[in-house]
Amino acid sequence: MKIVIDTDPGQDDALTILLALASPEIELLGVTTVAGNVGVRQATINALKTMELAGRPDVPVHAGAERPLLRPLVNATHVHGRTGFEGVDLPDPTIEAAPGHAVDFLIRTVMGNAPGAITICAIGPMTNIALALSREPALRERIGRIVTMSGAFSEVGNITPTAEFNIYVDPHAAAIVLESGIPVTMLPLDVTHTLHTSDARLARFAALPNRVGPVVADWLRFEKRFEATKYGTDGGPLHDPNTVLWLLQPDLYRGREVNVQVETGSELTMGMTVVDWWGITKRPANVLFLRECDVDAAYDLITERLARF
Ligand code: BDR
Ligand code: CA
């Protein structure tokens, strides 16, 4: 399957890219970067570092939007560190970003492939995707699926009491994507908060006889410093990799087709995903909303893929 990853790396974003590169079922056509966890310049550097770590400098990285559609940028350096990659000091990249804006790359790639052939993994704020949809409305019929780590139902929020970070940063973009009619799979906090990055799980990554495994373990150890203390669990949540894991093995996850809308009108609940889990409104389903995961099997799959580097 052909995918593009739209991302704001971020340690867990980098692991998502690595999993895609390690998986023969997936052809990663390119990575597009967006402002989110860190500014877009830093996010682009981090994506390039990830390609070099993986030994895949041939996969293009295109820099994208440097701020959300309407709101000022909110970052997550309190979770990911100043560079977004704290925990491991990777060398500066020797490769450069590919020429051309991320939005142009998204449009060109989707329009240049058969209808439905391209899946977009959206693991940052959805600014680039919303801009692409506004520039080329035909994308609505051409994008096969958007698989996004974002949103929440029973876990509610991680950046405000009612909002998940990726949606909160650009709620207007998320609303455009959810209203587009493109099939969406959402991996929300309900799932990601069950994949604790426990010491035992990270020790398996660290013990892999390659460079990638220990780097991923150190990255996630850093990320969990903030998150595990906050939630009182035996590890931090694991967010973005669930998108690629779902593409590889959808039967690891359980959820329902439901209607999801994004709050853009109230400052108090800005970016909240309003999930009609019980079908109360009769609004048509627009999202496959996942809420459960076979966690041990998911970690086995990650470990097996990282071992391939
Ligand atoms: C999301 O926010 C970011 O900090 C993570 O990379 C993930 O995409 C989790 O809310
Ligand atoms: Ca992310």
pLDDT value of residue 256:
98
Q: For residue 205, how far is its CA from the centre of ligand 2 (angstroms)?
A: 20
For 236-291, the DSSP string reads ----THHHHHHHH-GGGEEEEEE-EEE--S-STTTT-EEE-TT--S-PPP-EEEEE
pLDDT value of residue 224:
83
- My answer on whether omega of the bond before 39 falls inside 30° of 0, hence cis, is no
Domain boundaries, the chain: 2-306
Neighbours of 136 (CB within 10 A): 17
Q: For residue 224, how far is its CA from the centre of ligand 2 (angstroms)?
A: 15
Mutate to test the pocket of ligand 1, among 239, 243, 272 (most ligand atoms within 8 A of CB): 239
Atom of ligand 1 nearest to the CA of 37: 4
Mutate to test the pocket of ligand 1, among 5, 6, 7, 8 (most ligand atoms within 8 A of CB): 8
d(CA 249, CA 244): 9
Q: Is 33 in the pocket of ligand 1 (CB under 6 A)?
A: no
Q: Is 236 in the pocket of ligand 1 (CB under 6 A)?
A: no
Q: Is 223 in the pocket of ligand 1 (CB under 6 A)?
A: no
From residue 27, how far is each of 22, 122, 205, 247 by CA, in Å? Answer: 10, 16, 24, 12
Q: Is 149 in the pocket of ligand 1 (CB under 6 A)?
A: yes
The amino acid that residue 11 corresponds to is: Q
pLDDT value of residue 89:
82
Neighbours of 56 (CB within 10 A): 16
- pLDDT (tens, 9 = 90+) of the chain, 309 residues, equals 999 999 999 999 999 999 999 999 999 999 999 999 999 999 999 999 999 999 999 999 999 999 999 999 999 998 889 899 999 989 999 999 999 999 999 999 999 999 999 999 999 999 999 999 999 999 999 999 999 999 999 999 999 999 999 999 999 999 999 999 999 999 999 999 999 999 999 999 999 999 999 999 999 999 887 776 677 778 899 999 999 999 999 999 999 999 999 999 999 999 999 999 999 999 999 999 999 999 999 999 999 999 999
Q: Which ligand is nearest to the CA of 165?
A: 1
Q: Which ligand is nearest to the CA of 79?
A: 1
Q: For residue 101, how far is its CA from the centre of ligand 1 (angstroms)?
A: 23
Q: What is the assigned CATH class of domain 2-306?
A: alpha beta
Tell me how many degrees the CA angle 86-90-91 measures, rounded to the nearest 5.
140
pLDDT value of residue 234:
82
Catalytic residues: 239
Q: Is 123 in the pocket of ligand 1 (CB under 6 A)?
A: yes
Q: Report phi then psi at 11, rounded to 5.
A: -60, -45
The amino acid that residue 215 corresponds to is: V
Mutate to test the pocket of ligand 1, among 79, 166, 187 (most ligand atoms within 8 A of CB): 166
Atom of ligand 1 nearest to the CA of 189: 10
pLDDT value of residue 297:
98
pLDDT value of residue 228:
67
pLDDT value of residue 287:
98
pLDDT 10s digits, 31-87:
999 999 999 999 999 999 999 999 999 999 999 999 999 999 999 998 889 899 999
